[in-house]
């Protein structure tokens, strides 16, 4: 019975802030907790692709000259410490500490969970390999959801350039979902997709290491 008022409050909050509704119950764990499985070659090593891509360096960028100039113009102090910059350049900025299950390293910039959703409840192998269950536990599919990207890729970015993306017909856009996705691809190999756990089991049964 005591729970009822809290449930009512949660429902009211979810209606008032629809963007928070789906995320509200899940906590962040950081890329360190995705690494165990997603750095494997068999899986397609998404961690390496991300590490070599633009998002991993997002905090580092806030320390360069261009950032210092932007911050100086706005009297913000050091940009890598300013909320006005960190909100899009690191994962889970401004999220209450109670929802951070493991400390995130700011040096890792924009991590997996900024796009795939906070991972504490979906990161177990059994859950991860059943997509429907994983989604129920907070996994987001950014493949079909442009808003995951435009939360940061929008005019509030001081370097947003309406001419950044040039379409084949010459049209320009500040952000183009399809083209942008192509620039950060990190797929599971086609012959592994949906079968990772099975293939891993087979290798282990043969006494082989999972690459």
Residues contributing to the site for ligand HEC (CB under 6 A): 29, 31, 33-34, 36-38, 46-47, 50, 54-55, 57-58, 61-62, 66-67, 70-71, 74, 76, 79, 82, 84-85, 87-89, 110-116, 119, 123, 125, 128-129, 131, 141-143, 148-149, 151-154, 156-160, 164, 180-181, 183-184, 186-188, 193-197
User: Which is nearer to ligand HEC, 8 or 194 (by Cβ)?
Assistant: 194
The residue of the chain with the least Cβ separation from ligand HEC equals 119
Smallest gap from residue 9 Cβ to ligand HEC (A): 28
| Tokens (6 digits) for 205 | 């049964």
Backbone torsions φ then ψ of 60, nearest 5 degrees: -55, -40
DSSP character string of 5-28: HHHHHHHHHHHH-HHHHTTTT--B
CB 11 to ligand HEC: min, Å: 27
Task: Choose between 62 and 106: whose C-beta lies nearer to ligand HEC.
Answer: 62
């Amino acid at each position: 019975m005591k729970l009822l008022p809290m449930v009512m409050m949660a429902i009211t909050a979810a209606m008032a802030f629809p963007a928070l509704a789906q995320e509200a119950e899940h906590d962040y764990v950081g890329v360190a907790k995705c690494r165990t499985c997603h750095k494997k070659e068999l899986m397609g090593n998404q961690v390496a692709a991300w590490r070599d891509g633009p998002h991993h360096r997002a905090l580092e960028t806030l320390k360069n000259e261009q950032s210092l100039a932007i911050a100086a113009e706005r009297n913000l102090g050091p940009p890598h410490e300013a909320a006005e910059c960190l909100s899009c350049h690191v994962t889970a900025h401004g999220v209450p500490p109670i929802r951070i299950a493991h400390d995130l390293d700011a040096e890792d910039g924009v991590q997996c969970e900024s796009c795939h959703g906070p991972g504490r409840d979906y990161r177990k192998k059994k859950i991860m390999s059943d997509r429907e269950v994983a989604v129920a536990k907070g996994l987001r599919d950014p493949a079909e959801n442009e808003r995951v990207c435009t939360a940061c890729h929008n005019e509030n970015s001081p370097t947003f350039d309406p001419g950044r993306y040039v379409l084949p017909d010459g049209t320009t856009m500040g952000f183009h979902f399809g083209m942008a996705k192509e620039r950060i691809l990190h797929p599971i190999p086609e012959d592994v997709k949906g079968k990772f756990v099975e293939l891993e089991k087979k290798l282990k049964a043969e006494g082989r290491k999972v690459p």
